[in-house]
Chain A
Amino acid sequence: MTDFALGRTSAKAPPRESTAWDRLMVNRNWLGFWFMVPAAGFLIFFLAYPLGLGVWMSFTDTRIGRAGVFIGLENYQWLADDSIFWLSVFNTILYTTVASIIKFAVGLYLAILLNEHLPFKAIIRAAVLIPFIVPTVLSALAFWWIFDSQFSIISWSLKQMGLIDHNIDFLGNANNARATVIFANIWRGIPFVAITLLAGLQTVSPSLYEAATIDGANRWQMFRSITLPLLTPIIAVVMTFSVLFTFTDFQLIWAMTRGGPVNATHLMATLSYQRAIISGFLGEGAAISTAMIPFLLAAIMVSWFGLQRRKWQQGEAND
């Protein structure tokens, strides 16, 4: 009996020693490492490293064609006394706040409208997304033409209706220019908000509305007590993205006004481009970019709390 068993084991080839190479190719952690290499390479060399470098550059006096030396907080002190910088901060906050609120309101309204039973629903939904697909710069040029000082179609229409008697100077006057770029930003952002919120609305069970109708709720009550609470988590995420991309907007402003008239529409991103690339003061431009980071962190925190709340709603954690 024992012999038989021994004979059988010795007849089989002894298992091969697992070599270091085997461990590298089969071990879960090593395999994970190999799979991560391409993505990590890109993100480390072209994202994490420049991010750190940008913060470092903001403490130096680097210019184009000349490596900088460490000058401490001098760039920031300089910016603190610079009225154009503060104007750009004001513009950025104004632009982000106004555009985000209106984008959210109109986007949610549009999502609710699109959630109704409609003829040609698929086509309408596809058409709504087109502003999001078309490159921002190109639609900004269309707006530039629509809001031209001499040949604006809006001025022309209002004149025909007899509401005004001379052309509106949309992009030449400081407040008009602000309103115009904010409008263009809203126009561009609504599709994203509307379509993502629509996706959220579609997950709300219709039986809730039926139950509420039986209980005698009106449309506003249904919206207030069913739609809004169930959508809150997705709203948090969508608005985080919206705020983030509005806050760091560059291309729309650059294509329409380049920060003008008299810096009235300069955002922090456009000002940093102008200072760093056009004037060549890379250090100062980097300081303006770095000054945007605290705001971005605040937006990310909001998103994080939004996601937490969603988990709580799904019962994954104790309340």
Chain B
Amino acid sequence: MRKQTRFVAYLSILAMLVGSLQSTQAQAVTYRVDPVHSFIIFRVKHLNTGFAYGRFNTFSGTIVVDEKNPANSSIELEIDANSVDTGNSQRDDHLRNPDFFNTRQFPKITFKSTRVRKLNDTTVEVQGNLTMRGVTRPITARVTFTGKGRNQRGQEIIGFETTFTIRRSQFNINYGLNGGLADEVRVTFAVEGIR
């Protein structure tokens, strides 16, 4: 009789645990990155004079948003390095070459978050790993929530933006470091997720 009571108690605790886990999962919403309304742009200083801008046209990814518990949120992005576009086909060819991205060996650039921490109602700090040219480096970025709504099809959409700076030499991209092109590259992700 006592054994039966203990079994029922265990079962109740397990049910409560599963229940709470389900409620946590229910609050995490997964969005797919909308490539049409998202932008990945970068800028780098040329000959210590002006800034050159470029973008990647092809990428995909997912954003998991948990408003109640931001630590459960995450982001994953996969960028087609061959889609680099600076508005000049010769420069784009050069960027695909071993001097820069070496896209034949490393066709993808990826970012995978490892930790998300809430800073205030509209800002989170995202830590993650950026992999480019076969080298993975941890980066930290402040990500700002830019809005939420519905698109013309009635689908739920959400927007985020972040800007951070990387040193390209840390990813073995060393061409032109002697004054030709700066080491620091400012990267902006302006992402719209769609559900």
A binds B: no
